[in-house]
């Protein structure tokens, strides 16, 4: 497609939510007075930015809203809900207070994976932590650093690629809320973790990608050499296998090998089921160059039905070799 | 529910089998004269118990029996069969002789994962290692420590979260036996492995938990600070994703991070398929406190149909905050 | 079955392709003048062969052909196509040029996982890298060693158990080509990786093993003490769990533990989905001895429908204890 069209589409839909980077997160949380989550300033050849130390107490507003077409979404401002919801990025040791408002006419909640919370922040009806129509409440999420317990064992830290979702719309497990789009990514970093230049969130939710069906699935854009982070979440009913052409990642905590001794498998295809999440960083086009690199579910009927999109990696001059206004399988641009 | 009711229920059903700790296993194997599998005596603040050295030769009686409602189970004594069957706990280097009696009217067997056995202990009809109605035989399982092979490569030890099951009832793969409840957990520890205070076994067998359907699924009890081991096994026909609220584990051999260099992913949700098994230890309520923490399959229709239960973590005074006689989703107590 | 019959069958079908060892690969690539992929000569007690250094530029011819019964296969020579296709074995740093010829009457392609290639070697219609009926083209695959990037992060190498498959027959994701047999294994080794004595490829493709249905699934032969490598690939529509009786492997890059500090889980059962691949080496019969050891999908209906075969491990005298002309479940020999 013409690049102009692509960019417009890219900016219009769910991919925006999927591309909130560390700096943007910083600016979206002004109440916390948090600087961008980096120790060193701009990305430059030969350097990487790394996660700051944790320990901040941050405040965020979040809204649950109805969206066109029967969808629902989370957003940081009223009228700005997206699918997936906004990226929440923390460093181990941070605490996040989320002032949550239910701008819908049905009960909703916010249930999170991976981080610490008291039972009354569970986001379940059973634990009385849902929010009625028009209601407000604060959810508090905490994170912690790894360390040695008194008994000598090692306590893992909170770092990981996690996610949040509704746990009450439709059923007491939030099946209706999740189906309509009430989910989003959470990344908890360890101090010193490598920060990406760009972030994309890909959610295989039933037969959609980010609740977008065949022909409407998101593409993602980068330039050769960008350090791109992909957060991959699965929701719904089916198992999937996430495959990315031309790029691989380590099947471990960071998606990055720590060094020559790291025994983790390097993969380019991974089976996932509902509520699984993982993430990784790739250097766009490393060893393979620019191009329109497909990502897709590798369950054959799923890809054939359109669970596929493009990782468009441009040359420094902005062109993507061989990429013209034609379509990946099951993927049609308006 | 009233605690009294909960406790009665807890002790009445499959959860008993799921809660046989190391000491109980020791006492269930008097023939071997084995002391409890610990080097130091009672659990105390600031210490952990660790697995003894292996090398013991142990003897166990096991029975396959019919249970009410068309179910079948394994037990250590006649009339005491449970679903799941009894926890078998070994240390690398141990040998276990199981005097097995088929107290049923159909052919049955005992097939084990993970440990060493000669082909005539395979538990399959093909290898003539099933047991006719009313018959007896001895199955011998061996385990071994890791070590360097003569050729310089590293030989893994037997340590792991394994399991046993029938391999002949209904079909030559034991589909009928497994469906009716003929399965149980095996834990092989390495010398020095951290021992838990409590153990629970959770088996997702088709749409049941430990062969208990919606509304009858087991809950599990602990007190804040208990070191709880969960052994998770899948059986049957479907894939599942195991999710536990408020707690996480390392996706590696022990479910525990070995230290700051361990690259294993920490997860709270994991896809599993039939005969997969894994295990982990959590410190109950660590960083999150007491509460009625759900565990459930995160495939949305499965949780909606009742594949859910509670990990009830009490304060030291025995109360579970916010927990009253109401029900988790799809989970009703009589 | 009589050994003679077994051997004939073994050599007649797909298992041939599954058993192309390192030396055979060497001889199949004479154009590259590559010696066998080992530093030391024959396998001997107390030694292992290890992968040579990479950096070779190799040339290979490959053909896509129709096979009887509506199947399709890849082969290194005309008329020699097999299912799975030939094992492609590389060492990190190698480059492989594949002169590919489409000997069929439908468009076909070669898409590979794990290794490096420019976008015009993608094997997809979208990237104009398919081959018309009767057509030829060269696909170039590169591999690279791990190393430190300029920015200080660690770049993974290409080593892994990968695979190739068609991406255009039937659908734009190659669903028809894969179903008919257009797939094969790729192993990329790291310099110094342990080499096996024998290799077998097991592909769970829908309800078949290597496109062979119930009663026709392949068996695999070894002698106690052989270092056997199994490459396991999944294709098609369904998830499976791969289980091997009496043997285990590490769930990491090589399937081998690197030493006592390697935290990888050791497993004998693993969930996999379409396009997942993994591999491992076992010492045949280690700790368990000779026997007819089953491998099968552990999804109960799949094994019952015949997704099962035998890993026949003979004593040094060539006999397999207890193995006579009878059949594994759902497995009948002609």
Kindly state whether B119 is in contact with chain C, defined as any CB-CB distance less than 8 angstroms. yes
Q: How many CB pairs under 8 A join A and C?
A: 145
Of B287, B300, B329, the CB nearest to A126: B329
pLDDT of residue A140: 98
Q: What is the three-class DSSP state of A87?
A: coil
pLDDT digits (tens, 9 = 90+) for C194-242: 999 999 999 999 999 999 999 999 999 999 999 999 999 999 999 999 9
Kindly state whether A117 is in contact with chain B, defined as any CB-CB distance less than 8 angstroms. yes
Q: Do C173 and A250 touch (CB under 8 A)?
A: no
Give me B232's structure tokens: 């998770």
Distance CA C235, CA C260 (A): 34
pLDDT of residue A329: 53
Distance CA A85, CA A164 (A): 9
What are phi and psi for residue C291, nearest 5 degrees? 160, 175
If you average pLDDT over residues B122-138, what whole number do you get?
98
Confidence of residue B16 (pLDDT cuts 50, 70, 90): very low
Strands, sheet with C291-297, edge to edge from the N-terminal-most edge strand:
C220-223, C308-314, C291-297, C240-244, C269-272
Confidence of residue C45 (pLDDT cuts 50, 70, 90): low
pLDDT over 80 at A170, yes or no: yes
What is the Cα A22 distance to its own chain's centre?
A: 12
Chain position carrying tokens 């449970």: B82
If you average pLDDT over residues B159-183, what whole number do you get?
98
pLDDT over 90 at C312, yes or no: yes
**Which pTM value belongs to this model?**
0.89
pLDDT of residue C153: 95
pLDDT of residue C258: 86
Q: Do B246 and A173 touch (CB under 8 A)?
A: no
**Alpha carbon of C256: minimum distance to chain A alpha carbons (Å):** 9
Distance CA C3, CA B318 (A): 66
Strands, sheet with B240-244, edge to edge from the N-terminal-most edge strand:
B220-223, B308-314, B291-297, B240-244, B269-272
Distance CA B17, CA B40 (A): 25
What is the Cα B265 distance to its own chain's centre?
A: 22
Confidence of residue A328 (pLDDT cuts 50, 70, 90): low
pLDDT of residue A78: 97
Exposure string of C101-113, with b = 16+ CB inside 10 Å and e = fewer, is: bbbbebbbbbbbb
A308-314 and A220-223 as β-strands: parallel, antiparallel, unpaired?
parallel
pLDDT of residue C322: 87
Nearest CA to A237 out of C275, B126, B298, B242 is that of B298
pLDDT over 60 at C9, yes or no: no
Kindly state whether B173 is in contact with chain C, defined as any CB-CB distance less than 8 angstroms. yes
Percent of chain B whose predicted confidence (pLDDT) is above 90: 81
Find chain B residues with C-beta within 8 A of C287's C-beta.
Answer: 116, 142, 144
pLDDT of residue B36: 37
Measured between CA atoms, the residue of chain C closest to residue B162 is C267
Find chain A residues with C-beta within 8 A of B268's C-beta.
Answer: 113-114
pLDDT digits (tens, 9 = 90+) for B207-263: 999 999 999 999 999 999 999 999 999 999 999 999 999 999 999 999 999 889 899
pLDDT of residue C242: 98
Q: Do C155 and A327 touch (CB under 8 A)?
A: no
Distance CA A137, CA A129 (A): 9
Q: Most C CBs within 10 Å: which of B93, B126, B177, as the mutation test of the C interface? A: B126
Confidence of residue A247 (pLDDT cuts 50, 70, 90): very high
* Average pLDDT over chain B, rounded to an integer: 87
Distances A166 to A77, A107, A169, C162 between C-alpha atoms, Å:
18, 10, 7, 38
Q: Do B160 and C266 touch (CB under 8 A)?
A: yes
Confidence of residue C37 (pLDDT cuts 50, 70, 90): very low
Q: What is the ipTM of this complex?
A: 0.88
What is the Cα B17 distance to its own chain's centre?
A: 8
Kindly state whether A266 is in contact with chain C, defined as any CB-CB distance less than 8 angstroms. yes
**In chain A, residues 270-329 whose CB comes closer than 8 Å to chain C:** 270-271, 283, 286-294, 296, 298-301, 303-304, 308, 321-322, 326-329
pLDDT digits (tens, 9 = 90+) for C68-95: 999 999 999 999 999 999 999 999 999 9
If you average pLDDT over residues C119-137, what whole number do you get?
97
* Average pLDDT over chain A, rounded to an integer: 87
pLDDT of residue B42: 38
Find chain C residues with C-beta within 8 A of B171's C-beta.
Answer: 300, 303-304, 329
Of B259, B265, B304, the CB nearest to A171: B304
Q: Are B174 and B122 in contact (CB under 8 A)?
A: no
Kindly state whether B107 is in contact with chain A, defined as any CB-CB distance less than 8 angstroms. no
Non-local CB neighbours of C23 within 8 Å, separated by 6+ positions: C36, C37
């Amino acid at each position: 497609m013409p690049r102009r069209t692509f960019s417009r589409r890219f900016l219009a839909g769910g991919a925006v939510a999927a591309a909130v980077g560390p700096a943007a997160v910083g600016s979206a949380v002004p109440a916390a007075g948090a600087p961008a989550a980096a120790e060193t300033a701009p990305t430059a050849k030969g350097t990487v930015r790394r996660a700051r130390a944790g320990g901040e107490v941050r405040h965020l507003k979040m809204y649950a809203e109805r969206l066109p077409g029967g969808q629902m979404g989370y957003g940081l401002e009223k009228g700005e809900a997206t699918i997936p919801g906004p990226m929440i990025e923390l460093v181990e040791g941070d605490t996040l207070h989320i002032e949550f408002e239910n701008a819908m006419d049905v009960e909703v909640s916010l249930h999170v994976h991976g981080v610490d919370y008291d039972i009354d922040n569970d986001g379940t009806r059973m634990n009385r932590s849902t929010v009625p129509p028009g209601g407000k409440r604060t959810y508090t999420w905490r994170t912690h650093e790894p360390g040695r317990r008194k008994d000598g064992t090692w306590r893992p830290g909170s770092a990981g690629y996690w996610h949040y979702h509704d746990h009450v719309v439709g059923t007491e497990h939030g099946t209706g809320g999740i189906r309509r789009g009430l989910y989003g990514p959470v990344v908890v970093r360890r101090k010193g973790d490598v920060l990406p230049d760009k972030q994309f969130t890909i959610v295989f939710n039933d037969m959609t990608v980010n609740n977008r069906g065949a022909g409407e699935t998101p593409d993602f854009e980068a330039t050769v050499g960008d350090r791109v982070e992909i957060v991959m979440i699965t929701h719904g009913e089916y198992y999937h296998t996430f495959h990315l052409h031309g790029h691989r990642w380590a099947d471990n905590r960071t998606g990055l090998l720590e060094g020559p001794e790291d025994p983790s498998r390097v993969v380019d295809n991974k089976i996932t089921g509902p509520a699984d999440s993982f993430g990784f960083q790739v250097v766009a086009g490393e060893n393979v160059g620019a191009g329109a690199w497909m990502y897709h579910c590798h369950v054959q009927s799923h890809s054939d039905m359109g669970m596929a999109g493009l990782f468009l990696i441009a040359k420094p001059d902005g062109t993507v070799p061989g990429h013209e206004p034609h379509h990946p399988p099951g993927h049609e641009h308006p």
